[in-house]
Amino acid sequence: MDPGAALDEIASLLERERASRYKSKAFRTASAAIAGLSAAQLDDVASLRRRPGIGESTLRVIVQARGGAVPDYLAELRALHGPPPSTLRSLLRGDLHAHSEWSDGLTSIDLMVDGARALGHEYLAITDHSPRLRVAHGLDAERLREQIDVVAGFRRSGFTLLTGIEVDILDGGDLDQETDLLALLDIVVASAHSQLRMEKRAMTRRLVAAVCHPHTDVLGHVTGRLVAGARGLRPASDFDAPAVFAACADRGVAVEINSRPEREDPPDELIALALAEGCLFSIDSDAHAPGQLALLAEGAARAEAAGIPPERIVTTWPLDRLREWTERRR
């Protein structure tokens, strides 16, 4: 087995389980450290042990891979993190919610693209945070313009990188970025990250206002709940779900099925309600590292169990149809 590929896959699987960023980074660092080495250099264990970026755990992976076996650690992670079976997962063409190191993601845009292509995606939107979310190093207008230029200049055969943002929904329902800039983006995911315990009527007005913004494409992790994970538990926001989903259906805004296991957002009963209201859906990973892009399998399994027709899921659409949808009000 190619040792670099083994190290990268281990890093991806660790990212998928949301392990310590330092743990996954160690395997990516080791992969970079051996890139371009000859077969003789890869077999010189004493020299590898002295090479910066390689530790005992990563060295063991390299030696086992060079010996022709799947490294023990990789085999263990593969067995632990096999994706749940889902016919719908094979129909997904891309992902409209992912982060890079420009905000609170762990890796470069290039590595996120490599991860998406490895999964067979046709497109990926980079949706880093907006400025109000300072803890996530959100992008102000100047940095967003810079990122738009970087993404627009990206060229990779058979793959499309989309400009985007996960824009914070402010307390009154406005979006946390200049309207002229939002108009330039391919994808706008609008999400609430603060004041999640707001009174029901106020939260309903807030979400409906965000859905009715002319540049909102996707309503992200609508309840804001956390059901597991290191950040602890958080209850769902209280709002008039029929009113919010009716607005989504009327405006053609997709309700996100957030694939992160610690969110499971929306809950099953709200997915059923949004389906009955005639909403579109977007199955997204909300990935903060390449390995987390594979979390789409979790969201696809939930959507399939809920009986959502694939044609109602925008991330099953080919790029041309997706672009027609995002241009509907711009």
Question: 131-165 pLDDT, tens per residue?
Answer: 999 988 999 999 999 999 999 889 888 899 999 99
Provide the domain count of the chain. Answer: 2
pLDDT at 237: 98
Same domain, 69 and 200: no
State the CATH number of the domain containing residue 75: 1.10.150
Question: 276-304 pLDDT, tens per residue?
Answer: 999 999 999 999 999 999 999 999 999 99
Look at 36-40, 97-101, 154-158, 221-225 and tell me which has the smallest mean pLDDT: 154-158
Question: 181-214 pLDDT, tens per residue?
Answer: 999 999 999 999 999 999 999 999 999 999 999 9
Question: 23-51 pLDDT, tens per residue?
Answer: 888 999 999 999 999 999 999 999 999 99
Per the CB < 8 A criterion, the answer to whether 229 and 18 are in contact is yes
| Mean pLDDT score of the chain | 93
Same domain, 72 and 131: no
326 pLDDT band (50/70/90 cuts)?
A: very high
Same domain, 149 and 69: no
Domain endpoint, select from 52, 80, 108: 80
pLDDT at 1: 84
State the CATH number of the domain containing residue 117: 3.20.20.140
Same domain, 252 and 283: yes
Domain endpoint, select from 57, 80, 103: 80
Return d(Cα 57, Cα 239) in angstroms, integer: 49
pLDDT at 16: 76
85 pLDDT band (50/70/90 cuts)?
A: low
Same domain, 148 and 76: no
Look at 72-81, 94-103, 120-129, 161-170 and tell me which has the smallest mean pLDDT: 72-81
Per the CB < 8 A criterion, the answer to whether 101 and 46 are in contact is no
Same domain, 101 and 161: yes
pLDDT at 17: 72
Same domain, 234 and 167: yes
* 266: preceding bond cis by omega (within 30 degrees): yes
pLDDT at 82 over 70: no
Domain carrying residue 255: 88-326
Same domain, 162 and 130: yes
Same domain, 16 and 145: no
